[in-house]
Structure 1
Amino acid sequence: MSAPDLAPRRPLGGIVTVWIAAAIAGLVVGFFVPSDLRSAWTLVALGGAIILSFIVQLWYGQTQRFIQRTSLSILGALIVLGIISAGFRVAALIPA
């Protein structure tokens, strides 16, 4: 006999956590980094989001659909950082 699985954690919380962390990192980069260094620091923020996604999904403790959850976290972080970066790029074009 095998023990029944307890109610597993919902994977959506871990995925959205990485997206929120990427949004915060993108806003920090956008507001506090000079415009000529923003693209480099955005890549650093994406690298941090990739590492965070692996940490969160490993903490989740389920082997089923690990690759899908991790890739969804990373893809969402990439999209979030891209939107924020594009927003700051457009804002830089508008004269103050």
Structure 2
Amino acid sequence: MSEPALAPRNALVGVVVVWATAFVATVAVGIFVAEEWRVPWMLVVFGGIVLLSFAVQLWYGHTQGFIFRVASSVTGALLLMGLISIGFGIAALLPS
């Protein structure tokens, strides 16, 4: 017979970790990568975020809600990366 977990990990922490990583990586790409290479590097970062999301949710160790947690991590990261990319795109259009 299996014993129930006394203090299960909070699933929301994993989602927030993925979002924070997406934020930091997107800002780093926007600052350190030349304009013509930003889109390819954003795709690389998003691929890494998807893999990180799977890894974090597998580490969580519960099957219930796995798809929902991964989907919310990836969707939130995609929206966050899109908003930051829009900001960098508008900044690139402004004359310096």
Residue 91 of structure 2 corresponds to residue 94 of structure 1: no
The equivalent of 1:6 in structure 2 is 6
Residue 52 of structure 2 corresponds to residue 52 of structure 1: yes
The equivalent of 1:33 in structure 2 is 33
Residues matched between the structures, number? 96
Whole-angstrom CA distance in 1 between matches of 2:61 and 2:2: 18
Q: Normalized against structure 2, the TM-score is what?
A: 0.95
Whole-angstrom CA distance in 1 between matches of 2:41 and 2:2: 49
- Deviations, residues 57-86 of structure 1 (Å, cap 9, x unaligned): 000000100000001000011011101111
Residue 68 of structure 2 corresponds to residue 68 of structure 1: yes
Whole-angstrom CA distance in 1 between matches of 2:52 and 2:80: 15
The equivalent of 1:82 in structure 2 is 82
The equivalent of 1:24 in structure 2 is 24
* One-letter code aligned to 2:28: V
Change over 3 Å in CA distance of 1:2–1:59 after alignment to 2: closer
Q: Normalized against structure 1, the TM-score is what?
A: 0.95
Query: What 5-or-longer segments of structure 1 have no aligned partner?
Result: none
Equivalent residue of 1:19, what SS? helix
Whole-angstrom CA distance in 1 between matches of 2:23 and 2:89: 16
Whole-angstrom CA distance in 2 between matches of 1:2 and 1:52: 29
* RMSD of aligned Cα (Å): 1.1
